[in-house]
Amino acid sequence: MPRPADLLRQARTRAGLSQRELARRAGTTQSVVARIEREQTSPTWETLERLLAAAGVRLSPETQPADGSMLYELPGTLRLTPAQRLQEAANLTQFLYHVRRVSDGGRVPGATVPLNPELLFTTLARHNVQFVLIGALGAQLQAFPRVTRDADITPARGEENLEHLAAALRDLDARLFTDREPDGVPFDCSASTLARAEIWTLVTRAGRLDLVFAPAGTTGFGDLAAHAVKFELYGYPLLAARLEDIIRMKEAAGRPKDRQDIEVMREMLKRRAS
């Protein structure tokens, strides 16, 4: 997963430019370049595009930084506030969306809407939806150094909460995501419909959203909410599953792609305890 700091640093190094030289070419200041590379700020698409262009990089969907340990990125992520960590996810999905537009000549076939955490979580809060944020985004709030493109939540199953959830999803123009229809297809977004499945993969005007009522290794909302970490974001409280529970879910799911995430989270917990 590309990170703006990695992309910019790699592009500048390959071009043989100092931060000051790159800033001059891009019409900005050296401090702006330095803050982005140190992950003290998360740049907008326009700023990153201008800086990369000044380093001679042509964007493509395959644009990737050199491989590196996520633990190397941890200090930079720790310096960010929880809101800034979520903004990184938003900027990344916006970045990838624009990269596809550039490569496809202005067309984005099958593209989903970039993630907008503020719109997503404030909408859920305004509708009084009870949920716990899980997955990579929940871990990212706690300084996990991998940026994700979507949000995963575990809502409470009660009938009243499902009514609130259905109203919030209608407000977000939720549609069903499928591989053949990544921009989503309409569905009956009602409490009774939501109660019929354990997992819903959706596209909303706030980005991709997965509803997982009973994540692997857990019994659902009550299990996770009991020890969840509470944040105050965008003027509302937000519960995120603690790292120990995210590890528990990933271990139970048994997916090969989760192995590195588990190792990094365990190391984070060791460092936190020391």
Beta-carbon contacts of residue 243 (< 8 Å; ≥ 6 apart): 139, 142, 144, 265, 268, 269
In whole angstroms, give the CA distance from residue 261 to residue 246.
10
pTM: 0.77
The pairing of strands 151-155 and 207-212 is parallel
Q: Nearest-CA neighbor of 240 among 135, 105, 118?
A: 135
CB 172 within 8 A of CB 112: no
In whole angstroms, give the CA distance from residue 101 to residue 238.
33
CB 239 within 8 A of CB 222: no
**Token digits of residue 193:** 């419909």
Map out the domains of the chain with their CATH numbers.
4-103 (1.10.260.40), 117-273 (3.30.460.40)
What local confidence, expressed as pLDDT, does residue 183 receive? 83
In the numeric block, the tokens 């989760």 are attached to 258
Q: Tell me how crowded residue 262 is: count the other CB atoms within 10 A of its CB.
A: 15
Mean pLDDT for back-to-back runs of 10 residues, the chain (274 residues):
72 85 92 88 78 75 45 72 86 70 51 86 98 96 86 98 98 92 90 97 95 97 98 97 97 89 92 87
Q: Strand locations in the chain, DSSP E? A: 131-134, 151-155, 175-176, 199-204, 207-212, 229-233, 236-240
CB 216 within 8 A of CB 249: yes
Name residue 194's amino acid.
L
